[in-house]
C-alpha cells in the first residue's frame, strides 16, 4: 500500500471499519466491500482479510485518526487501566437525548465523548449536560493539538483525555481529571433503561405493579425511583446494566485493531470466533 495516501484514499480504506462490512461477512459470507478496497489500493503483501484490517488500521492510526481509531484506542486504554473482570463497557450508549461514544461501569460510571481532528464542537454542550445529569465522571477525548481550545470552552468538572503520538505509537493521557458529579436526574437514568430494566429496579425499591395500568407504568416507576435513596438507585441500575448481553470479558482475546468493532457488534463468543475465522480466510 502506498504509504502516502491522500485524504480521499485514507477515507476510502477506513471504511473497512464499517459495521456493515463486518456484518456482511458474518451473515452472508460477503467480502465485496473488502474486495472493492483491494481493487483500488495495493495490499499485495496481505494474504488474509485480517491482514488487510491490520494494515489499514496501521495506516489510518498514523495518518487519518478518525472516530474508529479514537474509540479503538480508548478501549485499549481503558482495558489496560481497568481490566475486564469487574468492568463493563458499552459503545453508542443512549443517555437522555444524546448517544455517548463509550461508557464504562464498575464501582462508578464514566462516560467518554470523542471529538477527533475532523469534528466540530457543535452539540457538545448539550451532550455534556446530559451526561452530567447521570454519570459520576465525564470526559472528552480529543487530539493533543486541540487541548487549549477545549480546556477553555468546557466546564472545569469535565475531564480531558488527549491522544498523542509518541515514538511512532499512539498514547492516551488524562490531561485533566474529571470531578465527581453529584447531580442525578431520574428521568435521564430511565432514558438509559429498557422497560423490563426500570420495572426490575422499581420492584427492587419496593414498587408493586398489581394495580398499575400499562399506560402508567413509566410514570409509576419514575415516582418510585424519585423517592429512593440515590446510592441505592445507582446500585440497582448497575446491577441491571450488568445483566445485559455484553462481550467485555472477551475483548482482550481479540486482535487489538478490531476490539471496538467487536464491542460495537456485541457478538457472543461463538459468533465472534466464526467472524474471526472468516476474516482469516485467504484472499482469492
Looking at the structure, tell me whether residues 269 and 212 fall in a common domain.
no
Looking at the structure, tell me whether residues 28 and 115 fall in a common domain.
no
Spatial separation of the C-alpha atoms in residues 181 and 44, rounded to whole Å: 52
- Could you tell me the pTM of the whole model? 0.92
Residues 6+ apart with CB under 8 A from 231: none
Domain boundary among 176, 200, 223: 176
Tens-binned pLDDT, residue by residue, of the chain (284 aa): 545 688 999 999 999 999 999 999 999 999 999 999 999 999 999 999 999 999 999 999 999 999 999 999 999 999 998 888 889 999 999 998 999 999 999 888 999 999 999 999 989 999 999 999 989 999 999 999 999 999 999 999 999 999 998 887 899 999 999 999 988 899 999 999 999 999 999 999 999 998 899 889 999 999 999 999 998 998 899 899 888 889 999 999 999 999 999 999 999 999 999 999 999 999 97
pLDDT at res. 106: 87
pLDDT at res. 131: 95
Looking at the structure, tell me whether residues 55 and 97 fall in a common domain.
no
Looking at the structure, tell me whether residues 78 and 161 fall in a common domain.
yes
Looking at the structure, tell me whether residues 28 and 98 fall in a common domain.
no
- How many structural domains comprise the chain? 3
Residue-number span of the structural domain to which 214 is assigned: 186-243
Within-domain flag for 284: no
pLDDT at res. 186: 93
Looking at the structure, tell me whether residues 91 and 190 fall in a common domain.
no
pLDDT at res. 211: 87
- Closest by CA to 272, choosing from 245, 251, 242, is 251
Residue 103 DSSP SS3: strand
Alpha carbon separation from 17 to 49, 102, 148, 178 (Å, rounded): 12, 17, 30, 30
Looking at the structure, tell me whether residues 102 and 117 fall in a common domain.
yes
Within-domain flag for 117: yes
Q: What are phi and psi of 255, to 5 degrees?
A: -55, 140
CB 95 within 8 A of CB 134: yes
DSSP 213: -
Looking at the structure, tell me whether residues 105 and 193 fall in a common domain.
no
Amino acid at each position: 500500500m502506498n504509504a502516502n495516501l491522500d485524504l480521499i484514499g485514507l477515507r476510502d480504506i477506513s471504511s473497512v471499519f464499517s459495521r456493515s462490512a463486518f456484518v456482511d461477512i458474518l451473515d452472508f459470507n460477503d467480502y465485496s466491500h473488502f474486495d472493492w478496497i483491494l481493487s483500488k489500493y495495493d495490499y499485495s503483501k496481505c494474504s488474509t482479510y485480517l491482514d488487510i484490517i491490520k494494515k489499514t488500521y496501521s495506516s489510518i492510526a498514523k495518518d487519518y485518526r478518525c472516530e474508529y481509531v479514537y474509540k479503538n484506542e480508548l478501549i485499549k486504554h481503558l482495558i489496560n487501566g481497568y481490566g475486564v473482570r469487574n468492568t463493563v463497557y458499552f459503545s453508542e450508549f443512549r443517555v437522555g437525548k444524546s448517544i455517548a461514544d463509550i461508557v464504562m461501569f464498575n464501582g462508578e460510571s464514566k462516560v467518554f465523548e470523542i471529538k477527533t481532528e475532523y469534528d466540530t464542537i457543535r452539540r457538545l454542550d448539550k451532550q455534556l449536560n446530559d451526561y452530567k445529569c447521570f454519570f459520576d465522571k465525564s470526559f472528552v477525548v480529543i487530539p493533543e493539538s486541540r487541548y487549549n481550545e477545549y480546556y477553555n470552552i468546557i466546564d472545569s468538572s469535565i475531564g480531558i483525555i488527549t491522544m498523542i503520538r509518541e515514538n511512532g505509537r499512539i498514547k492516551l493521557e488524562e490531561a485533566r481529571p474529571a470531578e465527581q458529579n453529584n447531580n442525578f436526574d431520574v428521568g435521564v437514568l430511565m432514558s438509559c433503561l429498557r422497560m423490563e430494566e426500570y420495572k426490575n429496579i422499581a420492584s427492587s425499591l419496593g414498587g408493586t405493579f398489581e394495580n398499575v395500568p400499562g399506560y402508567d407504568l413509566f410514570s409509576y416507576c419514575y415516582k418510585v425511583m424519585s423517592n429512593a435513596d440515590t446510592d441505592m438507585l445507582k446500585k440497582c441500575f448497575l446491577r441491571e446494566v450488568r445483566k445485559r448481553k455484553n462481550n467485555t470479558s472477551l475483548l482482550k482475546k481479540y486482535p487489538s485493531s478490531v476490539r471496538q468493532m467487536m464491542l460495537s457488534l456485541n457478538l457472543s463468543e461463538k459468533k465472534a470466533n466464526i467472524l474471526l475465522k472468516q476474516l482469516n480466510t485467504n484472499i482469492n
